[in-house]
Chain A
């Protein structure tokens, strides 16, 4: 009887939505955090009587295999009524599914930080892009630690683009890039990176490695810090734009002093659209926020369950949802936090920063605030 009027009370629309998260593989911890956020949002919406729709999760698991994303996304769009898929962790997988989405008129809700320079009509980006992570992080770090950086990353688009933007920022600040080194995803041979860092003695390291490569690197760097005190958080911190609470367990003591940036840390008051406090990480919060915004759009009166993103955003709900109809990105809090005693402590924050995926609006870079005490060199 669902979907019909029963004794004059409109019953809720049942809406299927896809979930496309890998439950194993190199970035399983990140995937699990996003999946948890999406599922808890679905549960919250389904247990709220006046939420307007009941969401049914249709799950597919690409198991960390890049070649399974596109077929599984197509399967969701073809075999079920789902038009919206919450999923993908790597930019590589996101770019893989976009053609499938375009073909079927589907939408991906993407809840991870990414490298920007994209504004697909078929994607909503609910986590941060570079003007909401890398740019404020570097502007904050330069006056505190210096402008001589060492750049490292996993050998795919996230690492390449993050380091390209960082190179430009460092050059514009008259700094220097002392080295730049990539590892294939999953590779844990970090000795060359450590050797180069030891030899060049930078002021900071920008780490865009992911998964096991990143864990191994951070452990090796902590060991280096025990050999030579320069390589510790006070004089040469490791900065990253994708480290969240969900990976701290893997790192143990090696996480101490790491600096990260994101729209949410569980120490903070900041909130993403529709998401309150109490999440394990920004990934969980951004996936929760994605589902919440989607449900809000679907609950608009006269909305078809199969409505495309364009149709949903054309209504009055777009402005209320917090999604920029021009870029499909979201204005987010920007927080810079450092691991201290096993938890992230927020060091700097901006309440709400509009996304600028193509870095074409200089007014959307949060204004740098000078440190209270400058480092004596």
Chain B
């Protein structure tokens, strides 16, 4: 499957580099500035100001969890690991922090632009997937509500299939999910005790 990758305009984007003062930081800063980003350097901690950054480059060699103002894997922006020693433990740690791309040290003038694009793409894909999964989880959790709504609607002499169709119609009319419609039906019934047969049509 191929997809057209959107090439973002990186002009004015903020990059935070979490690395001790080093020639790597100089080379990386030069290249990021040439691409058009604004760069800040941080060490030993990222600090909460980094929450506003669009990209974070972090040292995978000397890094540890306490440097970040968020929990491992919960970074709100694309993360790029700066890897010197390719020790498996360090790579594992960088991955746990949600590295979306990596750059090998020493950083030269190639690789930075592709790391930005790849990190951005995988971060967005990851975020979209997470949102999708959260949505599916919520719908799964509402299975019981849907069953209750169908049972309540069927209790008025409809067949189970008709009751389900009816619920789907309600959802479509209000442009909401079946689960949301089910919640309303259940709430309505518990309010009026199900006495008014036409209540769900109002």
Complex CA gap A117/B9 in Å reads 12
Whether B36 lies near A360 (C-beta < 8 A) is yes
- Produce 1/0 per residue, A324-349, CB < 8 A to B: 00111000000000000000000000
Interface residues of B, dominant DSSP: loop
Is A122 interfacial (CB-CB < 8 Å)?
yes
- Interface positions, chain B 155-197, Cβ under 8 Å from A, are none
Q: A117-B113, A121-B30, A168-B7 are in contact. Are A358 and B35 (CB under 8 A)?
A: yes
The size bracket of the interface on B is: 10 to 19
Among the interface residues A120, A358, A362, which one has the most CB atoms of the partner chain B within 10 A? Answer: A358
Closest to A95 in B: B110
Whether B9 lies near A121 (C-beta < 8 A) is no
Whether B35 lies near A119 (C-beta < 8 A) is yes
Residues of B within 8 A of A362 (CB): 9, 11
Residues of B within 8 A of A119 (CB): 31, 34-35, 109
Complex CA gap A168/B108 in Å reads 29
Closest to A102 in B: B108
Complex CA gap A357/B10 in Å reads 12
A208 to chain B, nearest CB (A): 18
Is B33 interfacial (CB-CB < 8 Å)?
yes
- Interface positions, chain A 334-377, Cβ under 8 Å from B, are 356-362
A79 to chain B, nearest CB (A): 24
Closest to B116 in A: A358
Whether B36 lies near A361 (C-beta < 8 A) is yes
Complex CA gap A1/B94 in Å reads 60
Is B136 interfacial (CB-CB < 8 Å)?
no
A151 to chain B, nearest CB (A): 15
Complex CA gap A358/B33 in Å reads 11
Residues of A within 8 A of B110 (CB): 98, 120
Closest to B36 in A: A360
Among the interface residues A328, A356, A357, A360, which one has the most CB atoms of the partner chain B within 10 A? Answer: A360
Complex CA gap A56/B139 in Å reads 76
Whether A122 lies near B109 (C-beta < 8 A) is yes
B53 to chain A, nearest CB (A): 16
Complex CA gap A327/B11 in Å reads 13
Whether B10 lies near A360 (C-beta < 8 A) is yes
B75 to chain A, nearest CB (A): 23
Complex CA gap A117/B8 in Å reads 13
Whether B109 lies near A358 (C-beta < 8 A) is no
Closest to A120 in B: B109
Complex CA gap A122/B110 in Å reads 11
Whether B9 lies near A360 (C-beta < 8 A) is yes
Q: A117-B113, A121-B27, A168-B7 are in contact. Are A358 and B108 (CB under 8 A)?
A: no
A contacts with B, residue count (CB < 8 A):
18
Complex CA gap A117/B33 in Å reads 13
Whether B10 lies near A358 (C-beta < 8 A) is yes
Complex CA gap A360/B33 in Å reads 11
- Produce 1/0 per residue, B90-110, CB < 8 A to A: 000000000000000000111
Complex CA gap A85/B37 in Å reads 30
Is B12 interfacial (CB-CB < 8 Å)?
yes
Whether A358 lies near B113 (C-beta < 8 A) is yes
Complex CA gap A98/B12 in Å reads 28
- Produce 1/0 per residue, B108-132, CB < 8 A to A: 1110010000000000000000000
- Interface positions, chain A 287-332, Cβ under 8 Å from B, are 326-328
Whether A326 lies near B109 (C-beta < 8 A) is no
From B7, B27, B34, A327 is in contact (CB under 8 Å) with: B34
- Produce 1/0 per residue, B18-34, CB < 8 A to A: 00000000010011011
A103 to chain B, nearest CB (A): 11
Complex CA gap A359/B9 in Å reads 7
Complex CA gap A209/B11 in Å reads 30
A36 to chain B, nearest CB (A): 30
Closest to A324 in B: B34
Residues of A within 8 A of B27 (CB): 121
Residues of A within 8 A of B30 (CB): 121, 326
Complex CA gap A328/B35 in Å reads 12
Residues of B within 8 A of A360 (CB): 9-12, 35-37
A104 to chain B, nearest CB (A): 14
Instruction: Name 19 extra pairs, CB < 8 A, besides A328-B34, A359-B9.
Output: A98-B110, A102-B108, A102-B109, A117-B113, A119-B31, A119-B34, A119-B109, A120-B109, A121-B108, A326-B33, A327-B34, A356-B36, A357-B34, A358-B34, A358-B36, A358-B113, A360-B9, A360-B36, A360-B37
Which residues of A approach B to under 8 Å, CB–CB? 98, 102, 117, 119-122, 168, 326-328, 356-362
Which residues of B approach A to under 8 Å, CB–CB? 7, 9-12, 27, 30-31, 33-37, 108-110, 113
The 3 closest A-B pairs by CB, nearest first: A360-B36, A360-B11, A119-B34
A-B residue pairs in contact (CB < 8 Å), sample of 22: A102-B109, A117-B113, A119-B31, A119-B34, A119-B109, A120-B109, A120-B110, A121-B27, A121-B109, A326-B33, A326-B34, A327-B34, A328-B34, A356-B36, A358-B10, A358-B11, A358-B113, A360-B10, A360-B12, A360-B37, A361-B11, A361-B36
